[in-house]
Amino acid sequence: MRVQNLTLALRAILFNFGLMLIVIILGLISCLIWWLPLDERQRIATRGNQGIMIWLRLICGINVTVTGLENVPNGPCVILSNHQSAWESFYFQWLFRPVSFVLKRELFWIPFFGWSLATMAPIGIRRSHPAGAMRQVFKLGQERLSKGIKIVIYPEGTRNPNGQLGAFKTGGAALAKLSGVPILPISHDAGAHWPATGWLKYSGTVQVTIGPAIDSSLDNARGLTDKARSWIASSLGDNISKA
């Protein structure tokens, strides 16, 4: 057990060193390419995301399997996913390009990481001002969607450990309904391998499942949100608490 823990620690240290190096390089590159069109900026930046995934596989033995890619709409949509770790943000940025994330503004102030993030057309919100945050999501979200950009929203609002699924807020579904675009529900178990807390990484395969798109015209925001959460909970199955 001691040898196993030491191996996990050494792998995590080596991975985090590589991660920091990639993030620093991406941050510097982002300062030079901010003037390029969004799709081109994301094409360049997501090479770094691919590098992080490759490094994660080589050092920590973490792979990924994606099911349901045929369900991804060709045009814009609002992606609603459970949130367990930093892993999904790195991976989804590459998988769904061009894409815009709804996230807390404080992330922009992180050196290098925040610089790169800010050039990817995210929707930064102040969670301490809910009303203003929703106005920002609706305004910029409609703008992004009208340009064919997919929006990723974590309706739980924060990361939860693997095995837990929090209550869903209705903002993402409301944006989809307002914009007339479908909702794409996604489930994953990234937290089993890259936990929300702690710094160790655990080998295995992250299971990502993309569900059928939900027509946002068929229900109100609460009903659409409940449908998305119900599908995600069902997809996770025994991996979430029954409570």
pLDDT in tens, 172-194: 999 999 999 999 999 999 999 99
- Shortest CA distance to 216 belongs to which of 188, 179, 162, 189? 179
Region of residue 64 (left: phi > 0; alpha: psi -120 to 50; beta: else): beta
- Note down the domain range covering 130: 2-239
Burial of 238 (0-12, 13-18, 19+ CB in 10 A): exposed
pLDDT in tens, 8-35: 999 999 999 999 999 999 999 988 988 8
Interval 151-160 mean pLDDT: 96
| pTM of the complete model | 0.93
- Shortest CA distance to 127 belongs to which of 152, 149, 156? 156
pLDDT in tens, 205-239: 999 999 999 999 999 999 999 999 999 999 998 65
Number of structural domains, the chain?
1
Report pLDDT for 238: 62
**Torsion sign over Cα 51, 195, 133, 215:** positive
Q: Name the one residue in this structure whose structure tokens are 């229900």.
A: 219
Report d(CA 224, CA 27) in Å as an integer: 37
Residue 242 has pLDDT above 50, yes or no: no
Token pair for 174: 């409301």
Residues 6+ positions from 174 with CB-CB distance below 8 Å: 138, 221
CATH number, position 95: 3.40.1130
Residues 6+ positions from 201 with CB-CB distance below 8 Å: 8, 11, 12, 15, 56, 60, 62, 193, 194
Question: What is the per-residue DSSP string for 77-113?
Answer: -EEEE---SSHHHHHHHHHT-SEEEEEEGGGGGSTTH
Q: Is the Cβ–Cβ distance between 42 and 120 less than 8 Å?
A: yes
